[in-house]
Structure 1
Amino acid sequence: MRFRRSRHDDVNVNITPLIDVVFLLLIFFMVTTTFTRETQLQIDLPESQSQVAAEDQKPIEILIDRTGTYALNGQVLIKSDIESLKQALAEVSTGNLTKPIVLTGDAEAPHQAFVIALDAVAQLGFVKVSITTQAESSE
């Protein structure tokens, strides 16, 4: 018996569509990418011989716990409303609006408590306000 040999066709992979897709992706990423130029200024800070002014002003600490209760320099306020916070701030600052204020709050504290504290500070006219945070722990 005579068997026919099967023909082996040459296998070709057409990569033209692949190249087209790669070029389209390249063009897409080039068009949608934004390039920012960050500039850094070289500055020389002024020098000072006396550090008394920086050490004299002890900051006013506003602490907010997870329930939204306020404490001013370690003394807990009875009410947690804006009026009592403003009154306590006015008493502690003795009218000195240049005193720095440090706002420290629990991570679970309600956002409204922060807003009330910042609003009270702004209504009284304080200009130096900072919010304390802690660095992320790498676990």
Structure 2
Amino acid sequence: MKFAAPPKSRVSVGLLPMINVVFLLLIFFLIAGEMQQPEPIDVNLPDVAHAQEAEGDLSLYLGPDGRLAFRDLDVAFEDRQSLMAALSESLTDCGGDTCAPVLLLHADRGAPARLIAELLPELGAAGFEQVNLVAVGRGTAEGGQP
């Protein structure tokens, strides 16, 4: 006795829902992710007992060997005139008459203090009214984290 072959059913996989899910995941990670450039100099920040969140418009890096970095400039401390010119130029780019952005100084804990002492008056002369030294907080006596 011959039986008829069962009818073949065509299974179709819809790719549209999978594309939609991948697209939504892409949008989620673009929105949720934090995009920032890597630090130009690897600095080991000093520890402090109590820390506040560092807020500033511009970041200047001072390495343990005395190298200075600002945006894409990386110079030795002795050759800092080009870097200071770029900092001054960033002040004029802000577009206001009384523009004085806050500068964040990321100085390595091994950087000589005399370099920071030489640098601060020059930054003041360049037009920065406030320079904040960035540090890492160890927490508080109450057990809070920075």
* TM-score where L is the length of structure 2: 0.46
Q: Which has the higher contact order (CA 8 A, sep 6+)?
A: 2
Larger radius of gyration: 1
